[in-house]
Structure 1
Amino acid sequence: MSFWHAIILAIVEGLTEFLPVSSTGHMIIASSLMGITASEFTKMFTVNIQFGAILSVLVLYWKRFFQSLDFYKKLLFAFIPAVVVGFLLNDVIDAMLESVVTVAISLVLGGVVLLFVDKWFNNDPMHSTPSAKQAFIIGIAQCIAMIPGVSRSAASIIGGLAQGISRKAAAEFSFFLAIPTMLAAASYKFITDFLHLDIKDDILKMNTYKIQSSLNHLSAHDVQTLLLGNLVAFIVAMLAIKFFINFLTKYGFRVFGIYRIIVGALLLLLLLFGVDLSV
């Protein structure tokens, strides 16, 4: 992977991670269009640059992370479903990540849903923040996004709206929930799929020789590529979050729904005419 590939993928990640358009789907599409080889490092890179996006939330909302312990309790309740489902269906999820057809269909179906979300949840919000129970339900909704193309942001925000939470509050809670969810996924993929370490035997038992040997597997180019990708994703994600909150509050989801349908339909047409979009 060249530095230019890394920059483009990081821009895509930063732009789409917190928008309801599916960052995973767009990363798969971008990798396919650029003809990037699906190597171990490439797969790890597309997950690892989420650290940059996570950091953007911490910087923009740093004051919110000095709230009461109740804030963290709600995040924990919302995070639990992703841990359970991710652990149980890890192999199935990995297989779906290689399917452009799955991404295209999910983009279209998710787009149709977004066309009607504003109409479904147009009543005055009853809550400014979710309760622990509501946070858990939002976490369950987020699990739907493990299907590539669905969008973690869209699933968790809609889950919040269904609990009577305002658009802005639902979007912000989705950002906060992204931190443990993406951190766990990125760390797990990096440790197990790229470094080939066993979390129980190598990490928890602090097998320093095995850990050091695995880290030596990273070349200087790999490290520079990861740092560059995370920096670009961090900057772009900060801009995307500010844009999204303002846009969502004023205009709702319809534009994102139309965009998803157009992109998904174009992908299906390309596949129908035999264009190779495999990753």
Structure 2
Amino acid sequence: MYDVFIAPFVEFIFMRRALVACIAIALSCGPLGVLLVLRRMSLMGDALSHAILPGIAIGYLVTGLWLPGLSLGGLAAGLIVAFASGKTARKTVLAEDASFTGFYIISLALGVLILSVKGGNMNLTHFLFGSVLAVDQEILLLIAIITTMTLVILALIYRPLIYECFDPQYVQLMGINAGRYQLIFLGLVVINLVGACQALGTLMALGIIMLPAIAARLLTKQVWTAVLAAVLIASISGYLGLVTSYQLNWPSGPTIILFCGSAYLLSLGFYCINRVPFKKSCIKR
């Protein structure tokens, strides 16, 4: 038991760094994921996770593998897509999900094209799927800073975000500028996607944000318990994914996300069996 579940983290520093990175990502992405689910913005999170790729690609061309350059590029690209999509939704007949979809597909294609044509020897899969086992001290520090900043800002804007989720009319009556908090929230999502993609890649980063949050939403009835459950599911999935990938020589990022997906499927089964009639809610709908 010790050799399987504990020894890898005792013997190898890269395993310890990967575990700390997964836990730090879980601490900030858990609350964000729950809020995305409550605000019905899950697909927008998916769009933003792909939208940061061209920014990271341009950052790589300009600064190489310099971490601040990659992060700033991804952050700029994500914010540009979020702003452009929001403007498009407000000024045209397109719904917000449709405008996000259009911009993120363009961004993803542009990012892949830039890396394929100008990326030189850089492997495209590194950006798409990441390598959590390659997390170094610099990336770990970046993730820790993003986690700390996210938790502090969420604590400051928590009430307006929750009010808007459950009673948007109350927010309007109180004169609260919901658009400002929406922009801050989307900025936090983009920043966390940039941090998570350093370890898990742009295609896998959203999984550790959304899958634990969706599973938690099925298992809990209150916001704070959903946040706690999402953080625990993401942390445990990170630990089990690292152990499994090490023992079986599997890619670490997809293995972690598959454990998150397994938690979602188990919670879905639990919900169907214990909360509502299985046939009506899980098959017909």
| Greater helix content | 2
TM-score, normalising length: structure 1: 0.29
| TM-score for the superposition, normalised by structure 2 | 0.28
